[in-house]
Amino acid sequence: MRKALVEMKADRIEDLIRPLAPFVAVMVAAIVVMILVPEIVLWVPKMFGYKST
């Protein structure tokens, strides 16, 4: 069991970060869009009848 864990260990942190970078970029872009256009986020509550004051 211990040998299997050692074999799965990544040699460098870059080996893990590089494949995940596109996903992180998409998440950051989505957050930026939600900040700049809040109507996108508020559309669902308004659809269910929420009335802001």
pLDDT tens sequence across 2-53: 666 556 665 788 888 899 999 999 999 999 999 999 999 989 889 999 887 6
pLDDT of residue 16: 85
> Is residue 1's pLDDT more than 70?
no
SS3 assignment for the chain: CHHHHHHHCCCCCHHHHHHHHHHHHHHHHHHHHHHHCCHHHHHHHHHCCCCCC
What dihedral do alpha carbons 12, 14, 20, 25 form, nearest 10°?
160
pLDDT of residue 33: 96
pTM: 0.62
pLDDT of residue 25: 97
| Angle formed by the axes of helices 14-36 and 39-47, nearest 10° | 70
